[in-house]
Amino acid sequence: MDAYGPPTKSTKQKEIQGLLLGRYEIGKLLGHGTFAKVYHARNVKTGEGVAIKVIDKEKILKVGLISHIKREISILRRVRHPNIVQLFEVMATKTKIFFVMEFVKGGELFNKVSKGRLKEEVARKYFQQLISAVSFCHARGVYHRDLKPENILLDEDGNLKVSDFGLSAISDQIKQDGLFHTFCGTPAYVAPEVLARKGYDAAKVDIWSCGVILFVLMAGYLPFHDQNVMSMYKKIYKGEFRCPRWFSPDLIRLLTRVLDTNPETRITISEIMNNKWFKKGFKHVKFYIEDDKLCSVNDDQNDETDCLSDQSLSESDSEMETRRKITTLPRPASLNAFDIISFSRGFDLSGLFEEGADKGARFVSGAPVSNIISKLEEIAKVVSFTVRKKDCRVSLEGSRDGVKGPLSIAAEIFELTPALRVVEVKKKGGDKEEYDEFCDRELKPGLQSLMMGNDVHSSYLPSDTE
């Protein structure tokens, strides 16, 4: 399953299985990520199955994600809807945070789509449920910003459940210009205005992603797809997509409005709900919102477990603040899509070096800035180069005079997305042949471990980004 890392049977995982957490008995590991593990659990009183996300408090404090967790809790409190994965309660100990969530048995929508396109009536039902959930979120001031089939689960009755609100935003985060400015989302599903980094209406961004999902459900493949990510970005900017012959005229007209590259003229949620193709068989979901109080302390809980509160987090947060001020590196300069495209016509985010005559070499990495700089320092030490650092720029300077003087190399780190960095390496001085030899023998092998690989994410796990 794409959303979960493969379960492993470590000693720690064996230890937690069978333990009682309040009224819940912890069961098998479902998946894991950088900061959390997700277990199946059973309510010992009712026998109901739940999913419990166990978050390592120390890890999230170290990387400054405590506000991220608080925001996710706040968001999940706002969005109680039949087509959204529910958060039942939140508990905490001195070292862990526990999200008790609805356990969705049917797996990801992605797994269903990966087997081929869906029948029109099935795709329409899922799209109707998705729009119903998104409409509810927007009415509550919540914007998902990372809608995709991997973040949509199906229950045992085949009903859709939106999950993973880790990248979600709330109205309070809107800047003075009335727009959001954080780059987030998944490339194939992201709206063109997000790539431009000029601010965007998050509601319109969610609508675009819903349109891409609808296309995938009906076609079995993406509307904007290319193995070269930059080529895909270009297609997204231009709105270049073709509908298969089995798409009905009504569906094509709807998709043309949803995948409008101009957010000002893009269709709205209310207009979608009044669309002829959408309305066929659509039933408005009726439900009631329960008490928003998610935390509860039970008599049978152990003394160390308590409801998660701002106070329980803030005490540890303040302890980490001084350390973060010392260790946090300056944030790299951000790249918008135009910046990246200007690098090279064939720029490929494959994790391999891409070289040009005068443009140096580049690669993409998911490693933190500190790790990249440390690796550059290690390489420099091996060949006795001097290292000079300023913000996210590193200079490696040789001491031996070559044909054209000492070899000097500049490396600069840019932010592609909050989770990805582009590392650009250029020759500043010295002979080109010496530079090429240095890249082949030292630089490329030394940096190989930092090049972009396949990370495992979970629909239940917190994102590493704000």
pLDDT digits (tens, 9 = 90+) for 29-50: 988 777 788 899 999 989 999 9
Q: Which residue stretches of 266-329 are H helix?
A: 269-273, 276-279, 310-327
212 contacts: CB under 8 Å, gap ≥ 6: 148, 188, 189, 222, 223, 224, 259
CA dihedral 266, 269, 273, 278 (to 10 degrees): 60
pLDDT for residue 464: 37
Measure CA 112 to chain center: 21
Give the DSSP H/E element, type plus range, for residue 67.
Answer: helix 66-78
Q: Which residue stretches of 120-228 are H helix?
A: 120-139, 192-195, 202-219
414 half-sphere exposure, CB direction, 13 A CA radius: 15
**Residue 272 pLDDT more than 90?**
yes
**Residue 215 pLDDT more than 50?**
yes
pLDDT for residue 93: 86
> Looking at the DSSP assignment, which residues form a beta bridge with residue 43?
24
pLDDT for residue 308: 45
Give the DSSP H/E element, type plus range, for residue 89.
Answer: strand 87-92
pTM over 0.85: no
Catalytic machinery residues:
146
For residue 217, the one-letter residue type is L
The Cα 347–Cα 362 span in angstroms is 9
Q: Enter the DSSP assignment of 95.
A: S
pLDDT for residue 203: 92
**Residue 158 pLDDT more than 80?**
yes
Q: Is 389 annotated as a binding residue?
A: no
pLDDT, tens only, 185-207: 578 898 999 887 677 888 999 99
pLDDT for residue 358: 46
Which residue ranges form the domains of the chain, and what is each CATH number? 11-103+297-325 (3.30.200.20), 109-279 (1.10.510.10), 333-450 (3.30.310.80)
**Residue 94 pLDDT more than 70?**
yes
454 contacts: CB under 8 Å, gap ≥ 6: none
The Cα 29–Cα 160 span in angstroms is 23
pLDDT for residue 340: 53
Q: Tell me phi and psi for residue 72, to 5 degrees.
A: -60, -40
pLDDT, tens only, 308-327: 444 444 434 443 333 333 33
